Amino acid sequence: MRHMGLAEKIRQFVNIWPELLGFGRCRFHVSIGLSLIPVGLIFFAASLADTSSADFRSAALTLPVLWLVSVTMRTAVQQFVLNDQTLCVFLIGPTGNLTTDYEGLAKGKSFSYLLSGQLATISIALVGMIGAIISSPVPAEEFGWMQALDFRGGWTVAALASQLMWVNLFLAGLHSLPAVPFDARAGLHAIVKAHLHAVDQSVILRRMSLFQSHLATCLLGAGLTLFIASLIYAHELLWGCGLMATAIYLLFSSRWELSRACELESDFVPFQARITRRDGPAAGQPGPHRRAAGVKAKSSHSEGNAESEGIPSEPPALDVDDILRKLHRDGRESLSSVESEALISASRELQRKRGTAGK
């Protein structure tokens, strides 16, 4: 039996310590280290470049630690509220859970997942704000909102409280975006799923992609307007640049949702034969009208043999791609009972295959 190296021991400890603390089935993604370490280095470099920012040297260490604690606490609260540790494995990244397993939750559970995370993050931010106010060195008569929201460096309680406040305000703002990997996407997914009564995940993803692209267009227009106004009136460009950056991210997220929908739809192709008549044409042959004609042209002799042998009649030839296009174009109400059953059967077969492949 080979001895584990130091790196492997550290990796195993990092993976298992959330479970030891009762946080459920959690794993840390490598991106959390790749994000927080550069943040610390940026603060350290800024403190060296400018003597007036020397206090930020301590933030190079304290800020990543407070960030990690905040993200872990947010994930712990979400798992406690869901109260079902067998549902999914939480993959903790720089902003929280990176997985999209919440797509399988009921509508109420999805909103509980979203609201519990946001309330936990906002509560931690309020604790940091109160601590910063109480321990502020500014005299009471000079104290105002600007002092309460001031970001401080150093090893004092006021500095740590201000960093805790800003980290969690930033996380709460990110998770308000209805895009992956932020938690507002769980709420958007639940709303679209309930509104469409969709039986196929690809339809939900396409509608989410459409919403995200429309929202991105609105934010891009608002950002450009603020940017131009800031140039004209010589104001700060922060808000305009922030809105445009958010719009660009939403556009990328929209494309990601669309690519997932296309991937799911393509996965149905191998299962078309399972819901198509054995005497029907293979994929890539003439369309539904020809298949229907082929079914009508089937000899009555073979049908009589099937009935005499007690074999139940098979459903008409169906093409999953045609059903998906009809569902996306005309909505769920346009599907017949046979088409709905065929789509559900194909979806179940796909899930079974994926479950088998994952073992």
Please list the pLDDT of the chain residue by residue as tens digits (359 residues).
445 566 665 555 555 555 545 555 677 888 888 888 888 888 888 888 877 777 788 888 899 999 999 998 898 888 888 775 445 567 888 998 888 888 877 888 889 899 999 999 999 999 999 888 888 776 666 666 677 777 887 788 888 999 999 999 999 999 999 999 999 999 999 999 888 876 678 889 999 999 999 999 999 999 999 888 888 887 777 788 889 999 999 999 999 999 988 888 876 655 444 444 444 444 444 444 444 444 444 444 444 444 444 444 444 456 677 777 677 666 666 777 777 777 777 777 776 766 665 55
pLDDT value at residue 156: 86
CA atoms within 13 A on the CB side of 248: 8
In the prediction, which pLDDT does 15 show?
54
pLDDT value at position 355?
61
- φ, ψ of residue 26 to 5 degrees: the values are -125, 150
The confidence score (pLDDT) of residue 309 equals 46
Burial class (CB in 10 A: 0-12, 13-18, 19+), 200: buried
Q: Look at residue 166 in the predicted model and tell me its pLDDT.
A: 93
Residue 153 CB partners (closer than 8 Å, separation 6+): 43, 47, 53, 54, 55, 56, 57, 58, 59, 159
pLDDT, position 245: 93
Among candidate residues 298, 351, 291, 300, the one with its CA nearest the CA of residue 319: 291
Instruction: Write down the pLDDT at residue 334.
Output: 72
**Could you give the 3-state DSSP secondary structure of residue 154?**
coil
- pLDDT value for 14: 55
Cα 343 to Cα 320: distance, rounded to the nearest angstrom: 7
